[in-house]
Structure 1
Amino acid sequence: MLKSATILAAGLFAVTSTAALAEDPTAQTVVATVNGTDITLGELIVARSQLPAQYQQLPAEVLWEGLVDQLVQQQLLADQLDAIPDRVQIALDVQLRSMLAGEVITDITDAAVTEETLQAAYEARFANAAPEYEFNASHILVETEEEAAAVIVRLNDGADFAETAREISTGPSGPNGGELGWFGAGMMVPEFEAAVVGLEVGAISEPVQTQFGWHVVKLNDSRIKEAPGLDQVRDELVAQIQQEALESALADLQESAEISLPEDGAFDPAILNNLDLLDE
């Protein structure tokens, strides 16, 4: 909630705020003061960035007063503690470690991605890669091997493949003459793909059994698959470069660091569920 349901009477608390539009504000610019504790513009900006998604849609002028009220009320409540509870300090330590690590990750991954590293990653993946083929095939699907053999005899006697597929194929491509369009490696079940790869363009296969039934396959055409342009795979390459840079940096850090880890069995993993330890 942006505002507490409780209305705080301004006269009961020492709360001050800026009255005029601040000139050249920075993250350290004081927006309000509660009993001597400053609330800064930077804190407001962070608070706004952490709002639930539905509030992120609202314009800043709608959010301003509510955010100021929220931080003022939080400070009033926080002031009631004489010391930071252990569980809160532990949570702060964990959050701080995570945020600092995130800053370093950003530095590492941003520095790793340049046009030069992108081009090198692109060439490593595609420049010397073995050519990949794509195939254009049609098939006629029937229930038994005998039916498939009879289809082959019919085709060898001069029957048109597409017309035969429309007439007897039980597959969803039947009404389209059995045409499957273009496909690459791994897009068809292994038995079907193996039959296609073994055909010459224009040839018809022997009966091929798959989990769907028995197929008679015709290879209509084949071609070498063109490598995608760099811009088409840019996001993928960026992610690859960043991941590799981070893994390399972590490996270097771990190699040069002094790290002590618990021995196997030193802790029962179920202890992770014991929240009561945070209050001891």
Structure 2
Amino acid sequence: MTAFLSRAAVAAGLALLPCIALAQTPPADAPKADAPKPDAAKADAAGAKLLATVNGQQITEEDLRVAREDLAANLPPQLQGKARDAYLLDFLIDGALVAQLAKSEGLDKTPEYARRLAYYHEKLLMEAKLGQIAKAALTDEAIKKTYDDALKAQKPEQEVRARHILVATDDDAKKVIARLKAGEDFAKVAKEVSKDTSADGGELGWFSKDKMVPEFADAAFKLDVGQMSEPVKSPFGWHVIEVEGKREKPFPALDEVKDQVSRYVVQKAQSDAVTSLRKNAKIERAPGAPSASDETQVDDAAAAAPAPAPAPAEEKKK
């Protein structure tokens, strides 16, 4: 388990930093559990509010909180508040009934149960410690330093803002150019004849060279601002391109990528801690046990697999 954590966390963390500049705002994390509100008049011996008893077994508000945290990612987003807690309480009641039946049949005495109990015991301890490490690592100073390091490492990259009109043949493209040179509005002509209906008036916005097919990108990046291309052939047809602007690709503001930077800070702190533990531990693999070389063979096989088909024009441009 710890070996997997080490490799997965390191890979995820180290892969994240150079991608910050390209990242969209990530989705919000699952909601945290609401803090319980103890009711001294109805509290059990541990001080938690008693919610139900199942054949004498107590279910408290603390049990509900644990279930809420554990199942948050799997609950329908529309299930909130009292309706969510009612659902979870029924879940705990049903779980207690089934567990009581299993225990009466001796399932808690089996070797399989013991193995799983030991596994989840270590898993919960691991998660608790990694949570401590994450809390200690996630400071404003660490987030700012990580962002600043990524900003310094960002290599200058040019972007172009352009419009295009996509038609079926070279002759069609030349007719488009003739209309534009005669003074017709580019956006108007694009709306009338362009095969690319996803680009409003031919507008493509800002893009770097790697976001377009090579034939299109080479032509667009050679043009000056305000200049229009001759017909350009690509796998999608014939293009007439007009460049509206050029700039160095901007780095996103910290507020735009703070969640992603925070995850990187946490992942790096956790992976560093596990790496340190592995370095100072005596770990002996039994003969024939799975090892990192097995993962390398899988990675090599994946790398040798055929490349996927190119994206459609609409996806390639965006």
Same fold (TM over 0.5): yes
> Which residue of 206, 210, 225 maps to 1:201?
225
RMSD: 4.1
Output the amino acid matched with 2:43. Answer: A
Structure 2: distance between partners of 1:82 and 1:158: 85
Structure 2: distance between partners of 1:23 and 1:75: 21
> Which residue of 188, 194, 204 maps to 1:180?
204
Residue 173 of structure 2 corresponds to 148
From the superposition, tell whether residues 60 and 204 of structure 1 become closer, same or farther in structure 2 (CA, over 3 Å).
closer
Secondary structure of 1:217's aligned partner: strand
Deviation at 1:91, TM superposition (A): 1.1
Output the amino acid matched with 2:224. Answer: E
Residue 47 of structure 2 corresponds to 26
> Which residue of 121, 126, 129 maps to 1:96?
121
Secondary structure of 1:170's aligned partner: coil
Higher helix share: 2
TM-score, normalising length: structure 1: 0.67
Structure showing greater relative contact order (alpha-carbon pairs closer than 8 Å, 6 or more residues apart) = 2
Gaps of 5+ in 2: 1-40, 295-318
Output the amino acid matched with 2:215. Answer: E
Q: Which stretch shifts more, 202-211 or 93-102?
A: 202-211
Say whether 1:249 aligns with 2:270: no
Residue 303 of structure 2 corresponds to none
Say whether 1:231 aligns with 2:237: no
Residue 210 of structure 1 corresponds to 234
Say whether 1:219 aligns with 2:235: no
Structure 2: distance between partners of 1:149 and 1:234: 48
> Which residue of 117, 121, 127 maps to 2:146?
121
Q: Which stretch shifts more, 238-247 or 162-171?
A: 162-171
Gaps of 5+ in 1: 1-19, 270-280
From the superposition, tell whether residues 172 and 39 of structure 1 become closer, same or farther in structure 2 (CA, over 3 Å).
closer
Query: Once the two structures are superposed, what CA deviation does each residue of 1:102-156 show, in whole Å capped at 9, x if it has no partner?
Result: 112212222221111111111111245234444221222222234434544x268
Secondary structure of 1:107's aligned partner: helix
Q: Which has the larger radius of gyration?
A: 1
Deviation at 1:244, TM superposition (A): 1.7
Residue 276 of structure 1 corresponds to none
CA contact (8 A) 1:26 1:42 kept: no
Structure 1: distance between partners of 2:203 and 2:92: 61
Deviation at 1:167, TM superposition (A): 4.8
Query: Once the two structures are superposed, what CA deviation does each residue of 1:178-204 show, in whole Å capped at 9, x if it has no partner?
Result: 333333454433322222111110112
Output the amino acid matched with 2:282. Answer: E
Residue 213 of structure 2 corresponds to 189
Structure 1: distance between partners of 2:111 and 2:143: 47
Identity, % of aligned pairs?
30
CA contact (8 A) 2:169 2:238 kept: yes
Structure 2: distance between partners of 1:128 and 1:147: 45
Structure 2: distance between partners of 1:161 and 1:33: 75
Query: Once the two structures are superposed, what CA deviation does each residue of 1:37-89 show, in whole Å capped at 9, x if it has no partner?
Result: x7574874467446784797537689769957964784476256397111111
Structure 1: distance between partners of 2:88 and 2:183: 74
TM-score, normalising length: structure 2: 0.60
> Which residue of 127, 130, 151 maps to 1:105?
130
Secondary structure of 1:138's aligned partner: strand
Deviation at 1:215, TM superposition (A): 0.8
> Which residue of 261, 264, 277 maps to 1:240?
264
CA contact (8 A) 2:102 2:108 kept: no
